[in-house]
């Protein structure tokens, strides 16, 4: 097998012949054992998000594009997805550098994260967590910003991993990350958020944040 060149965008631009197009994935262990994970009759662009989760569920390491007329190209999925992760990381950090997060205003990172979660699912969660943890101590403002953006997303996208991220934030020595964790739990609500804050309030040392947590708990219990 030969590995295709790294992609420059989230789409593979190809010329589709009139024949039906089949996208095949194959395991390294058997070149003859192909698994069809996506089929298209006329698409001229293949969104990586359309097949990445399916490929992962089949434990595939290669993707084969069979375009008919004996034209076949193969791409190493691990290399491809690593490129996508690197692009996601660069874009997220650039957006955070370009625009501060302000209360009441949506931030472009929210859309970036939401779109990536919808396209890449568990892989995007790993990407987000990797950036968050990498900056937890050396650049806590980045981790706080990520947590604030994640906290603004619907629980359909963030459950259950988002709560875990927020709880980890509550243990940070950086008050900005701790505040972001509290805000995320406040936004999501629910019994798990309430019980977490009830436990956490006893160990918070910053008086203003402790008061804020108490207000959130009161609001939760009054609903």
Confidence of residue 3 (pLDDT cuts 50, 70, 90): very low
Q: Is the pLDDT of residue 209 over 50?
A: yes
162 inside domain: yes
Q: Is the pLDDT of residue 167 over 70?
A: yes
**Residues 155, 136, 56: CA angle, nearest 5 degrees:** 55
Q: Is the pLDDT of residue 193 over 80?
A: yes
Q: Is the pLDDT of residue 68 over 70?
A: no
The verdict on 65 and 163 lying in the same domain is no
**Residues 14, 20, 23: CA angle, nearest 5 degrees:** 60
| The pLDDT of residue 190 | 93
**How does the average pLDDT of the chain come out, rounded?**
76
Site of tokens 């243990």:
171
The verdict on 120 and 28 lying in the same domain is no
207 inside domain: yes
Sheet with 62-66, edge to edge strand ranges: 34-40, 21-26, 62-66, 72-76
Q: Is the pLDDT of residue 31 over 60?
A: no
Sign, CA dihedral 144-149-153-158, equals negative
pTM (predicted TM-score)? 0.69
87 inside domain: no
| The pLDDT of residue 106 | 93
The verdict on 176 and 213 lying in the same domain is yes
82 inside domain: no
Bigger pLDDT: 75 vs 204: 204
The verdict on 206 and 134 lying in the same domain is yes
Bigger pLDDT: 79 vs 68: 79
Q: Give the CA diameter of the chain.
A: 71
Q: Is the pLDDT of residue 169 over 50?
A: yes
For 154, the domain range is 99-222
CA distance 197 to 184: 11
The verdict on 150 and 196 lying in the same domain is yes
58 inside domain: yes
The verdict on 186 and 128 lying in the same domain is yes
The verdict on 65 and 103 lying in the same domain is no
The verdict on 198 and 110 lying in the same domain is yes
Confidence of residue 92 (pLDDT cuts 50, 70, 90): very high
| The pLDDT of residue 183 | 97
């Amino acid at each position: 097998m030969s590995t295709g060149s790294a992609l420059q965008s989230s789409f593979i631009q190809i010329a589709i012949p009139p024949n039906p197009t089949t996208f095949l994935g194959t395991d390294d262990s058997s070149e003859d054992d192909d698994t069809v994970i996506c089929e298209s009759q006329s698409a001229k662009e293949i969104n990586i998000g359309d097949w990445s989760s399916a490929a992962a569920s089949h434990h595939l390491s290669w993707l084969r594009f069979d375009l008919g007329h004996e034209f076949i190209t193969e791409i190493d999925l691990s290399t491809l997805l690593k490129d996508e992760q690197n692009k996601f990381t660069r874009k997220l950090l650039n957006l955070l550098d370009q625009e501060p997060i302000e209360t009441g205003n949506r931030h472009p990172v929210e859309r970036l994260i939401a779109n990536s979660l919808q396209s890449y699912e568990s892989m995007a969660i790993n990407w987000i967590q990797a950036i968050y943890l990498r900056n937890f101590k050396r650049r806590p403002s980045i981790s706080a910003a990520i947590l604030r953006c994640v906290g603004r997303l619907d629980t359909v996208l963030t459950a259950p991993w988002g709560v875990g991220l927020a709880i980890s934030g509550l243990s940070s020595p950086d008050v900005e990350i701790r505040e972001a964790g509290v805000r995320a739990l406040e936004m999501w609500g629910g019994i798990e958020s309430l019980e977490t804050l009830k436990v956490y309030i006893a160990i918070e040392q910053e008086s203003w944040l402790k008061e804020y947590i108490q207000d959130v708990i009161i609001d939760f219990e009054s609903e």
